């Protein structure tokens, strides 16, 4: 069934508890002026996925730039191409000339170290995840207990699906994948590549074939196509000329309505370490 058609999904009775193993999410509070849906759109409702049920996305995370939507596309890429902008934190799936489906993404450190052309040469449902040796060295308390890897599932850092990018037949270690932490979408994270809501990556997975071309924009290309971005205290980015949103965010910050990002990260890291230790002993 097409990504862009209406779907009916089964209701979901509870949320899946998961530690933040692949990144540190910022405050999920929607900043003043950055609108979110008060009800969950159909495409982000809970859905059955084989034997699993993917939980609905909290409306607080469905800010305008995060929700999938049809947009005009004026870039040079051909229909069928996936375009990733790690600076504007957007992903475009070009479906026809001048028209694309746009998704909000979270970008981890690994997602900011690659640009240029690639091809989707591997696809996995509920992929296995294992921290790299570098991740274990950089944060042994968090990643050490999980060095043996995690089987696929909704509590896996790669989420429900993963698309693996290759260049010249070789794995780039650049991934487009789901997430165990929907509050991170639209923000920068401490690890991982390019994350989407699980509902979005499931549908993208169905719509993208092996061999699909991918273009990851450079900063210069992002500036040319999207213009300069401004990062809000809440962790989201908006166009630098979005003066009302930026002013509202600054006022909320000064009023103490947005928590300090470093404080949040420390709390979340401590919780993730405790969860990693518990999982390692079970």
Catalytic (active-site) positions: 177, 193
215 φ/ψ angles, rounded to the nearest 5 degrees? -120, 120
**Cα separation values, 12 from 49, 56, 234, Å:** 12, 7, 28
CB-CB contact of 2 with 207 (8 Å):
yes
Closest CA to 76 of 98, 108, 47: 98
How far apart, in whole angstroms, are the C-alpha atoms of residue 113 and residue 78? 24
Closest CA to 120 of 186, 211, 193, 243: 211
CA geometry: angle 166, 108, 161, nearest 5 deg = 55
How far apart, in whole angstroms, are the C-alpha atoms of residue 100 and residue 105? 15
How far apart, in whole angstroms, are the C-alpha atoms of residue 30 and residue 181? 16
- Radius of gyration for the chain, computed over Cα atoms and rounded to the nearest angstrom: 18
Beta strands in 178-276 (DSSP E): 194-195, 213-216, 229-231, 237-239
């Amino acid at each position: 069934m097409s990504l862009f058609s209406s779907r009916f999904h089964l209701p979901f009775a509870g949320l899946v508890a998961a530690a933040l193993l692949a990144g540190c999410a910022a405050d999920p509070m929607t900043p003043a002026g950055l609108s979110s849906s008060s009800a969950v759109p159909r495409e982000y409702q809970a859905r059955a996925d084989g034997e699993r049920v993917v939980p609905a996305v909290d409306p607080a995370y469905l800010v305008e730039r995060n929700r999938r939507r049809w947009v005009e596309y004026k870039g040079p890429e051909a229909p069928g191409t996936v375009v990733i902008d790690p600076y504007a934190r957007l992903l475009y799936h070009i479906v026809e000339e001048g028209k694309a489906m746009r998704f909000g993404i979270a970008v981890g450190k690994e997602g900011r170290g690659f640009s240029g052309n690639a091809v989707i040469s591997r696809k996995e449902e509920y992929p296995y995840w294992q921290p790299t040796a570098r991740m274990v060295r950089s944060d042994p308390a968090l990643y050490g207990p999980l060095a043996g890897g995690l089987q696929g599932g909704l509590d896996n850092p790669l989420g429900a699906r993963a698309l693996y990018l290759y260049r010249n037949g070789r794995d780039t270690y650049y991934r487009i994948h789901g997430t165990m932490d929907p509050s991170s979408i639209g923000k920068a994270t401490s690890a991982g590549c390019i994350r989407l809501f699980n509902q979005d990556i499931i549908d993208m997975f169905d719509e993208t074939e092996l061999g699909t071309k991918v273009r990851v924009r450079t900063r210069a290309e992002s500036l040319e196509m999207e213009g300069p971005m401004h990062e809000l205290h809440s962790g989201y980015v908006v166009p630098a000329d979005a003066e009302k949103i930026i002013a509202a965010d600054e006022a909320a910050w000064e009023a103490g309505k947005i928590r300090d990002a470093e404080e949040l990260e420390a709390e979340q890291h401590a919780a993730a370490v405790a969860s990693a230790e518990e999982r390692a002993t079970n």
